[in-house]
Amino acid sequence: MEIHYSLRNFSKPFKCFIAAFIVVLSIGFFTGLFFVGKTESNSPRGMIENYNGNEGVNEIKVMKFKKGAREMLTIIHTHILSLSFIFFFLGILVWGTEASVLWKSILSIEPFVSVLTTFGGIYLIWLEYHFMSYVVMISGILMTLSYTIGVCFIIKSLLKPPLKKNSIG
């Protein structure tokens, strides 16, 4: 059974509701990325220091200590749960756009792969597998691209006028 719906055919008030959700969700999503930049975790070295500390490094700006097991589990648990819901709701909306089935499939499935890769990779970084910092960066970039492209498709569909109904069917 296929579900067919189009965001462009929703009522104007409902489109405004979805647009408000997307705007607030995007502010939250990109604020999180801004926070990552402020913790200097947007580079392989910074990522390693953020989770494993930098006590042995000379000439540092901010002293960081290795995160404990409970703190790591809390970070991973909360991020996987919250991002799963974000991408679930975003995916439902992406399926209401006029994008191709291929784009819809990529934009609704890839973020879940990236969430697991990113936070699984962060856990492995914490376990001293430092090469995973590059995998985490790539998966984080893919997750952000998926989010951004999905939002663009959604906003584009919300801005389109409803399709005229055919008088024959």
pLDDT attached to residue 60: 77
Three state DSSP letters for the chain: CCCCCCHHHCCHHHHHHHHHHHHHHHHHHHHHHHHHHHCCCCCHHHHHHHHHECCCCCCCCCCCECCCHHHHHHHHHHHHHHHHHHHHHHHHHHCCCCCCHHHHHHHHHHHHHHHHHHHHHHHHHHCCCCCHHHHHHHHHHHHHHHHHHHHHHHHHHHHCCCCCCCCCC
Q: For the whole model, what pTM was predicted?
A: 0.89
pLDDT attached to residue 166: 55
